[in-house]
Structure 1
Amino acid sequence: MSKQTDMDVSKCKVMVFCDYYLPGYKGGGPVTTIRNIVTRLGNEIDFSIFTRSNDLGETIAYSDVPLDVWHPFFGASVRYATPKSLTVSNVRLILRQKKPDVVYINSLFSRKFSLLPLFAARLERRQMRVVIAPRGELSPGALALKRTRKKIYLTTLRATGLWRHVVWQASSQFEEMDIRSVMGKAATVVVAPDLPSIPLEPPPRQKKAAGKAQIVFVGRISPMKNLAGAINVLRSLSGNIVFSIIGPVEDQNYWAICQRELAKLPENIRVDVLGPQSPETVLASLSRFDAFFLPSLGENYGHVVFESLGAGCPVIISNRTPWRGLAGRGVGMDVPLESPEAMSAALQQIIDMDENEHLKMRTAARAYAQSLLADDKSVQASRALFDMGCELKRERF
């Protein structure tokens, strides 16, 4: 056996379970998270990704990828599972075949891609570490939505002992506190921040005129992202404003509420509903906006916040994300969710800026994003997270 083959055999094997993955993009941040992990650590770790055969909100399977088989895709082995293959027996068989050192579950409340693989892994009883990344699902804002159903789910699973010996990944110290508040102080929690995307070089843009602004909301149309709250904040703004909405409709009833609120906006605010867009399109277009606005009820990371900063687009967001102290850095503002007046004032400040003032914010935003990208601590934390399940393998080779 060649030296290269020996190295391949000894690589840590991580099997990822996630509801949605590339080429899909409507699943938002979790898709970006997994893509970035594979991009940054794929040379060191053998990643297998088990995911749905369709994108969020779609019932038709992808037409350009093979289904129910493993195939190489951007540095990982990916299996797009059709509904008929989502059974405990099939997942157990796949675990036996792949023999992962780490089972990495990217959700808590997904029946097919968290509960099913967790149950299958426990039935297998072989030595493999189970890591669950709740992706913000245990934040107070997230738990407040469908509260009764989630409480029953958590109580039932806690009683079964399925979470015994699980490692929880938190993307920040704030999420660590959320996890411990639900799972108990004795829970094993590792803080490993999500890995950011590499920003694109912003193309030339029009100069910012005082009294005018293009404001963009990027996110799934769901209560968690709080588009209705964003619309409410816009009502008091003065100036010539274009408000663009980018993202898939996840909740039709909530979108109907948002549409009614959009119809009440004053004439000085024009609304562009741009719908879902690929990550590449969003990255390329963020630089043309004057402000990114997201009064989210909670984000475990917020990839689009980083992407906006990298594009030189100042951000106005709620204080329910890991992105704090933005005003001190001159790149935007993180405002208490309970203070829509402060959010309105922050947006009005950007609207009133001329090109020179806004250029300072754009430059600071880009510099801040580049400094975060150059910091290797997040990569080291992700590597350490997977190392916990791969120590025995390293001892064997």
Structure 2
Amino acid sequence: MNVSLIIPSFYPAFIYGGPIFSTYHACSELAKLNDVNIRVSTTNTNMNSRLGVETNKWIPLNDFYVKYYNESIIDKFSLSLFFNIWKDIKKSDVVHIQSIFNTPTPISLIYSKLFRKKVLLSPRGSLGEWCLDNGNKFKSYWLKYAIKPFLKNVVWHSTAQQEKNEILQIFPTAKVEIIPNGIEYEKFQINNVYSTKKYIGRFLNLDVDADKIVVSMGRIQQKKGFDILINAFIDVIDIYPTAKLLIAGEDEGELSALLSLVEKINLTESVFFIGSISGQDKIDFLANADLFVLPSHNENFGNVYVESLAAGTPIVASTNTPWSEVEDGECGKWVPNSIKDTSDAIIEMLGRDRETMRLNAKKSAQKYDWKNIAIQFKNLFERMVKS
């Protein structure tokens, strides 16, 4: 079975965050399964620059192949992809298109329709109400004229029931399959163990201790709700005066405003931004914290939530994310992303037994191992080919 995966950006374009890692790992695990041949068609965009990769040729990567088309206008349009993607689609049995508001999507939908290919379409969270409301009016025209006319016989992929509901709200007759994102579970079971003082020295280079360590992670943008978290931390400091909040992530234009907020509410000795981290540093960052909090305005999945759970750290997630299950698993809170609800949830979670939370968190995360997710994708692709 030949699967053509079409996505605007791909590994190693890490600047785009979670979706790059999730797609890479999904392809890697799928390629290990019998009778699945994966070819990824993408561009060499890296947001504000281009990746240093060869273009317009198939490059082997972890038992699958990637072709990077050169971006004519960085992060906007690839003339090379426009004229050549049909060759990749024609050789496939199933076409898996990821993203909605990117030029490769309607181009690929058109060619897939011409060649009568089975299509799985993943919106990657772009159809959430917050995302649409905070876009421009052009998005509604894009959906109406660039996407809707080519949706006959397309199967949609969502990562959670919440995202399925978002798809159906816009396209009521859509056929939607739910397959969550995954995680390299075993990788998150190995971490260095730090005292709070050593942890602060490691990530902040400060010689101080702390009552509690709360962390967050994500691209520094408005969607993530970091302003809500920072304001909520005022109440946390009342209970735990030396608590520290560490926020990791690449700045996407919001950092300056958030630093001003921290200064305005006098939390410069409590709230810190540490930039982007990855690899073992990321695992140690999550595993040694007392709590992970991300009051996002919208997430179709949110890989970092399950990464935190896999590392053994409980979470506070907003009801704009699909993480209600942490309430039943007794490893987190799922609350509206208001300042009061967020601060109350943080204080409640910090009062719970840390070791019990560690065991519950790991147990909840285990089912998201990429090996299990890859099998779900293979089964879906096989059903689509036979239908």
The two structures share one fold, judged by TM-score above 0.5:
yes
Q: Which amino acid is the alignment partner of residue 121 of structure 1?
A: S
Q: Counterpart of 1:168? A: 156
| Secondary structure class of the residue paired with 1:200 | helix
Identity across matched positions, percent: 23
Q: Counterpart of 1:246? A: 248
1:139-186 per-residue CA deviation (whole Å, 9 max, x = no partner) reads: 222222115222222222356x122221111112221111111012x2
Is 1:37 aligned with 2:26?
yes
Q: Counterpart of 1:51? A: 42
C-alpha distance in 2 between matches for 1:127 and 1:151: 26
Q: Counterpart of 2:282? A: 282
C-alpha distance in 2 between matches for 1:249 and 1:318: 21
Where do 1:174-253 residues align within 5 Å? 174-184=162-172, 186-198=173-185, 199-207=187-195, 212-238=211-237, 239-250=241-252, 252=253
C-alpha distance in 1 between matches for 2:244 and 2:231: 15
Where do 1:247-396 residues align within 5 Å? 247-250=249-252, 252=253, 254-267=254-267, 269-278=269-278, 281-337=281-337, 339-351=338-350, 357-373=353-369, 376=372, 378-391=373-386
Alignment counterpart, residue 118 of structure 1, candidates 109, 112, 130? 109
1:190-237 per-residue CA deviation (whole Å, 9 max, x = no partner) reads: 122223332422424245699712222211122221222222222222
Query: Which segment is superposed worse, 74-83 or 198-207?
Result: 198-207
Stretches of structure 2 that go unaligned for 5 or more consecutive residues are 73-78, 198-208
C-alpha distance in 1 between matches for 2:138 and 2:269: 38
Is 1:109 aligned with 2:101?
yes
TM-score, with normalisation over the residues of structure 1?
A: 0.83
Change (3 A) 1:102 1:367: same
Stretches of structure 1 that go unaligned for 5 or more consecutive residues are 1-11, 393-397
Change (3 A) 1:324 1:208: farther
Change (3 A) 1:16 1:371: closer
Q: Which amino acid is the alignment partner of residue 235 of structure 1?
A: I
| Secondary structure class of the residue paired with 1:58 | coil
Contact 1:245–1:272, Cα closer than 8 Å, also in 2? yes
C-alpha distance in 1 between matches for 2:41 and 2:272: 36
Alignment counterpart, residue 131 of structure 1, candidates 105, 120, 124? 120
| Secondary structure class of the residue paired with 2:106 | helix
Contact 2:181–2:301, Cα closer than 8 Å, also in 1? yes
Q: What CA RMSD, in Å, does the superposition of the two structures yield over aligned residues?
A: 2.5
C-alpha distance in 1 between matches for 2:123 and 2:288: 33
Q: Counterpart of 2:201? A: none
| Secondary structure class of the residue paired with 2:308 | helix
Q: Which amino acid is the alignment partner of residue 142 of structure 1?
A: C
| Secondary structure class of the residue paired with 1:26 | helix
Contact 1:242–1:270, Cα closer than 8 Å, also in 2? yes
Change (3 A) 1:53 1:330: same
Query: Which segment is superposed worse, 383-392 or 314-323?
Result: 383-392
Report deviation, 1:41. 1.7
Q: What is the aligned length? A: 364
